């Protein structure tokens, strides 16, 4: 699969370059990022605790090893990764005039952040929450319907490299939703949204001053990178890419309008409903 190898190489190179950029950006602005770093640490602690529970459930359900050096390193790596992308992403979003966590931060007693130059009024919180929930439902239903149609038309299969990897790990290749798979799919949704929609998308805005009407540029670029990261999942490969890219654009728009919580909710719901539809 030469196409897969090329795209995977591009993804790894860009990922490494972005990681260096995040670290450099944080180091140069660490004083201004102090509050956001603290919030990033809290977020990373919650995420790592969730990941640890997922690993424990996978151990009891499928016999996967827990407590090994590799898994410990993975959790430590995730802690620093999530801390970094949340701190930098929330900071850059604030500078661009968007509220990164419009639902969570006010609940924690932090300042109500501006979105598109306007301040969210606490008195309208309930109505705003209903609006956000409606848009999450619309996006999930549209994404599921589009995916079902796409898979019905082209009947893709799980890619051989992925099948081999699952066989080596002695993980079931069944699409059945179990407690372990539900937790794993949820962790993937949370981490991808924090990394791509919050972190990468808003750091690009800050680095290249793509604010206002230019915000669509980082949305497209982030969606492209996220799409490339899904290569090697299905055969033919282009079906997965065609499924993922429009969703990335919609999630990028959702972050701008409704914040990262809605992106996470939509992605998480899609991941959990997807196996029940045979996707």
Which residues make Cβ contacts (< 8 Å) with residue 70, sequence separation at least 6? Answer: none
194/44 Cα distance (integer angstroms): 10
- The pLDDT assigned to 56 comes to 85
- The pLDDT assigned to 180 comes to 87
pLDDT in tens, 162-202: 666 666 555 555 567 888 889 999 999 999 999 999 999 99
Higher pLDDT, 102 or 272: 272
141/266 Cα distance (integer angstroms): 9
pLDDT of 221 over the 50 cut: yes
Residue-by-residue DSSP string for 115-181: ETTEEPPGGGHHHHHHHHHHHHHHHHHHHHHHHHHHHHHH--EE-HHHHHHHHHTT--------HHH
pLDDT in tens, 128-166: 888 899 999 999 999 999 999 999 999 888 877 766 666
Q: Compute φ and ψ for 55, nearest 5 degrees.
A: -65, -40
The neighbour count for residue 60, using CB atoms within 10 Å, is 11
- The pLDDT assigned to 1 comes to 54
pTM (two decimals) = 0.90
**Taking the domains of the chain in order of start, what are their residue ranges?**
2-277
């Amino acid at each position: 699969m030469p196409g897969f190898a090329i795209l995977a190489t591009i993804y790894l190179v860009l990922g490494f370059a972005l990681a260096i950029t995040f670290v450099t950006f944080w180091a140069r602005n660490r004083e201004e990022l102090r509050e956001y770093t603290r919030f990033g640490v809290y977020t990373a602690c919650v995420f790592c605790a969730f990941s640890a529970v997922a690993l424990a459930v996978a151990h009891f359900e499928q016999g996967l090893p827990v407590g090994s050096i590799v898994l410990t390193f993975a959790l430590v790596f995730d802690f620093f990764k999530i801390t970094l992308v949340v701190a930098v992403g929330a900071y850059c979003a604030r500078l661009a005039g968007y509220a990164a966590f419009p639902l969570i931060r006010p609940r924690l007693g932090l300042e109500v952040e501006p979105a598109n130059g306007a301040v969210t009024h606490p008195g309208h919180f309930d109505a705003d929450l209903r609006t956000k929930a409606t848009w999450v439902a619309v996006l999930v239903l549209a994404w599921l319907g589009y995916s079902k149609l796409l898979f019905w038309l082209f009947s893709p299969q799980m890619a051989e490299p992925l099948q081999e990897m699952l066989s080596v790990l002695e993980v079931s290749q069944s699409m059945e939703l179990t407690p372990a798979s539900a937790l794993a799919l949820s962790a993937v949704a949370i981490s991808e949204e924090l990394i791509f929609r919050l972190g990468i998308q808003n750091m690009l805005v800050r680095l290249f001053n793509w604010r206002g009407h230019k915000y669509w540029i980082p949305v497209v670029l982030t969606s492209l990178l996220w799409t490339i990261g899904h290569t090697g999942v299905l055969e033919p490969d282009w079906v997965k890419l065609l499924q993922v890219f429009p969703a990335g654009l919609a999630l990028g728009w959702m972050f701008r309008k409704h914040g990262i919580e809605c992106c996470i909710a939509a992605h998480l719901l899609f991941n959990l409903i997807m196996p029940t539809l045979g996707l």
